[in-house]
Structure 1
């Protein structure tokens, strides 16, 4: 076999492997759903669990960001001392905030994945109804649940977007301190604190709004 034909064959094989991999991932997800159904967990129950986890993750992140802001705001009160210790403290606060933010992002992805699977299944099963009145009622419930979910995921996306500028400022300040451990560096960082405080307060407000939206959505799914 010539080299070009061998390369073409390898490309085709790679594409096939990639396709099988994607199908496999979808198959794994369906297998997971079937397994959970055996234990009495439908997609609705799984979505409630995911939304609760995301709510709790945001609550933990809210506390972490508030603590980090307090630590960074303490720069204004710095009157000399161990700059290395100050740097280590702020670096740790940044890393913990970054980890919490990543946890929130992961949970939001899981919420959206399960929600889309639930809605797809719900819509497909509308065609199985024999009683048209029940079908219309179920379709109306689907529309209302989707609309409320859209509000929830929009609130969560706002939290995601609001975390980025805060983390960027935390990182910039930590990096600047790392390479400029002196009193002049502390003084120059103080100029960024008003904007940082505004961004963190906005982030916390959006987290609180998202948590409230999550509570309302959970209440709806539980039939409250």
Structure 2
């Protein structure tokens, strides 16, 4: 079998084991192909960063659609509801992906640091052991800072989704001018909340970039 195909099979198998809850088997399979926890962590952080970038764009898109509705002057409100509901569902899916990616970062990060700490006792050289201990402490501190930024951004998603959901649900059962008026009254707060959410996501993305850069230097 071609090397690339073998690697693809290994990754699929490892992911399957990971989904099944066999995390140790997942790590073992990946390591047999040269992918250690550090590599997996970098990959997971990159995916979390990308999911936040995509979520930011999705929330901007949803806000644009909701804003456009406030200028509604006639037409098919049911069709408008369907478009907004699609935006809400896409935003909900993007939020779920962000949460999943951040959870994956946290899990692999904690496993990496546990392994790193355990293996300190295996050194026979006190100099190398101390050097590794210092690097562990610094890397773990930077990881916690990055993960904290990710969690902070994640917490700002739910309030925005709740407003989206309420407005879509209200529009569903009130396809009239009253529903438009309701959205207009909420739009300013929604714009503010999405602005804060996107700003927090950008800070989280910046922390992810800094962490990846630092980890790759080691």
1:44 aligns with 2:22: no
Q: Distance in 2 between matches of 1:165 and 1:47?
A: 29
Aligned residue in 2 for 1:104: 98
1:167 aligns with 2:169: no
Q: Distance in 1 between matches of 2:21 and 2:171?
A: 49
Aligned residue in 2 for 1:67: 61
- Distance change >3 Å, CA 185–CA 117, structure 1 → 2: same
Q: Distance in 2 between matches of 1:41 and 1:137?
A: 24
Q: Distance in 2 between matches of 1:115 and 1:26?
A: 19
Counterpart of 2:214 (choices 182, 200, 220) is 220
Larger radius of gyration: 1
Unaligned runs of 5+ in 1: 1-24
- Distance change >3 Å, CA 66–CA 121, structure 1 → 2: same
1:29 aligns with 2:23: yes
CA RMSD of aligned residues (A): 1.6
Where do residues 6-25 of structure 1 align in structure 2 (5 Å cutoff)?
none
TM-score, length basis structure 2: 0.89
Where do residues 86-101 of structure 1 align in structure 2 (5 Å cutoff)?
86-101=80-95
1:79 aligns with 2:73: yes
Q: Deviations over 1:103-149 (max 9, x none)?
A: 01001111100000000000001111111111111111111111101
Q: Distance in 2 between matches of 1:118 and 1:95?
A: 35
Q: Distance in 2 between matches of 1:120 and 1:113?
A: 11
SS in 1 for 2:70: helix
Offset of 1:75 from its aligned partner? 2.2
TM-score, length basis structure 1: 0.87
- Distance change >3 Å, CA 65–CA 44, structure 1 → 2: same
Note if contact 1:152-1:210 (Cα within 8 Å) is conserved in structure 2.
Answer: yes
Q: Distance in 2 between matches of 1:61 and 1:27?
A: 27
Offset of 1:206 from its aligned partner? 0.7
Note if contact 1:80-1:183 (Cα within 8 Å) is conserved in structure 2.
Answer: no
The higher relative CO (CA closer than 8 Å, separation ≥ 6) is in 1
1:131 aligns with 2:125: yes
Aligned residue in 2 for 1:14: none
Q: Deviations over 1:140-185 (max 9, x none)?
A: 1111111101111111101110000000000000000000000122
- Structure 1 stretches of 4+ moved >4 Å: none
Q: Distance in 1 between matches of 2:212 and 2:143?
A: 10
Offset of 1:26 from its aligned partner? 9.8
Q: Deviations over 1:165-214 (max 9, x none)?
A: 00000000000000000012211221000110000000101111111110
Q: Distance in 2 between matches of 1:26 and 1:170?
A: 33
